[in-house]
Amino acid sequence: MRPKKSLGQHFLHDDNIARKIVRLFEPAPDETVLEIGPGRGALTGHLAAAVGRLFLVELDDRAADNLRGRFPDERVTVLHQDILDTDLTAIARDSGSTLRVIGNIPYNITTPILFHVLEHRAVIEDATIMMQREVARRLVALPRTKDYGILSVFFQLYTEPRLLFDVPPTAFLPPPRVVSSVIHLGMRVEPRYRVIDQTFFKELVRAVFGTRRKMLRHSLRRFFEQRGAALPEAFRLEQRPEELAVEELVRLSNALCRVSRQERIP
């Protein structure tokens, strides 16, 4: 089964790396695990006998057929579908258990997959995911660094991100042009800091980091103008978004949200 470039496939073929990932994942017999993009089953082979229930989400029809043949155990379910179209909450509900997520995800859709997992965080205990190192570094980046941005803010607010180790290109077939990293995301039941309106916060963060080279007074003014309001003088800040820590962005969002709600009161 040759990798498909259209699917961004880079199959893990180093069994030592596969074993290390699963060992750090620490699967248990009473757990329900969902693997994203198992491909040739490098991780699956070490997971199938170690967990109570295993869901394999695989878009490639060749890989899905191969996995069904290799893992006929009734505890293993192969879902031939796109992970971005997969309702993780429904799987957890139907299985009667929270999920643990693992996978070597396609690098061309890393960010959408990460946000899809985050969207279903209420039913996910944690996720151990291999991705390109550049993206992994963004998840744990600190303020005032070039990697600090939208991914840093959301994943440090809603998860406990932790870099585990790097993986060289030689561990894959074909070798990618980048170094990969394995990262662990421990899901938070509640965000690290209280957010009074999560939709407002999400829109604000995307707005200010969408023009990250501009000072906050510019991006916030535009953010308010799009809502048919004027930015109050008190919020005409001179910092750039990457200068604010997650807690400061949450405080700013909460304050602006309160102002926005007051302006809507007739």
Domain 5-187 part of CATH 3.40.50.150: yes
How far, in Å, CA of 80 to CA of 62, rounded? 10
Omega of the bond prior to 174 within 30 degrees of 0, cis? yes
How far, in Å, CA of 232 to CA of 244, rounded? 19
CATH topology of domain 198-264: Helicase, Ruva Protein; domain 3 (1.10.8)
Would you kindly state where each structural domain of the chain is located, as residue ranges?
A: 5-187, 198-264
Burial 46-55 (b: 16+ CB within 10 A, else e): bbbeebebbb
pLDDT recorded at residue 232:
80
pLDDT recorded at residue 192:
96
* Tokens encoding 198: 């999560």
Residue type, position 257, single letter? C
- Contact (Cβ atoms closer than 8 angstroms) between residue 141 and residue 147: yes
Whether the predicted model's global pTM rises above the 0.75 cut? yes
Over the chain (266 residues), what is each successive 10-residue block's mean pLDDT?
Answer: 71 95 97 95 94 96 93 94 97 96 92 97 97 97 95 98 97 92 96 95 94 87 84 82 95 89 54
- Pairing type for strands 99-104 and 172-173 reads unpaired
pLDDT recorded at residue 6:
67
pLDDT recorded at residue 263:
52
Topology agreement, domain 5-187 and domain 198-264: no
